[in-house]
Every structure is written in structure tokens, then in C-alpha cells.
Amino acid sequence: MKATLLSLLLLAIAVACHRDKNELDPLVCGVANPTENLPWLKAVIDEYKKDQDGLMKYKYVLQSTYKGSTVFVFGNCCPFCLSMILVRDCEGNRIEVKAGEGEPTTVIWKPENSTCEPTK
């Protein structure tokens, strides 16, 4: 009986302390909502929303971690575009990242009519 109770207690503690990998930290780059509160990031997203080229439905922004720091990944799933994925740090500086070096990502912005399913 004691072993069962101990097992249940340990299981309850493990479940209570679990944190989803895709759960965002409350503060990212010192702000609560980077898509609205980081001026350079908001400007990029606002430019995407203008949709002057008709390609907004293919664009997305991911949040990830690279070498212990928060980064933002700008990608698209455009089937006929030749494009590269762009990675920027909290200040908006471009970061050189090799494929597979980043940690799992979280989608922080994509348009309502998005055709993308960004990889996580």
C-alpha cells in the first residue's frame, strides 16, 4: 500500500511540474508580447499584413532558442518562391544558423488565411 501511495505521489508531482515545450515564457526579450512590443518585429509583421505581393498567406514567424538566446525565425511555405529562412535575435540582428542547430519552435504569428503548417 505504501509503495502504491508513494508511486501516486511521485506521479502527481511529476505531472504538476510538467511544462509543455511549446509553452512560451512570460517575458520574451524583456517584453510580454514580442509581436506587439518589439518595435522591429512589429514593423516586419505590419509589413507582412499589408500583403502587397499577395504572398502573406505563405508567411509565418516562429520563436525559438539558439545557443541559449531567444531568436525569431521568419519563414514561408510558398510553393513557387525561392527564399531563405531568416533568423534574428531580440534586437533584430540577423543570426547565421545552420540547419538543425536551433531548438524546437513555437509559432508566434501567421495570418488567419495561412496555408502553412510550420515545423516545430
pLDDT tens digits for range 32-88: 999 999 999 999 999 999 887 788 899 999 999 999 999 999 999 999 988 888 999
The predicted model scores a pTM of 0.72
How distant is the alpha carbon of residue 38 from its chain centre?
14
The three grid cell numbers given for residue 69, joined into one nine-digit string? 538566446
**Beta partners for 63?**
72, 106
The confidence score (pLDDT) of residue 23 equals 53
> Does residue 3 have a pLDDT over 60?
no
Please, are residues 109 and 35 in contact by the beta-carbon 8 Å criterion?
A: yes
The confidence score (pLDDT) of residue 100 equals 74
Query: Confidence class of residue 119 from pLDDT cuts 50, 70 and 90?
Result: low
Query: Which has more pLDDT, 91 or 9?
Result: 91
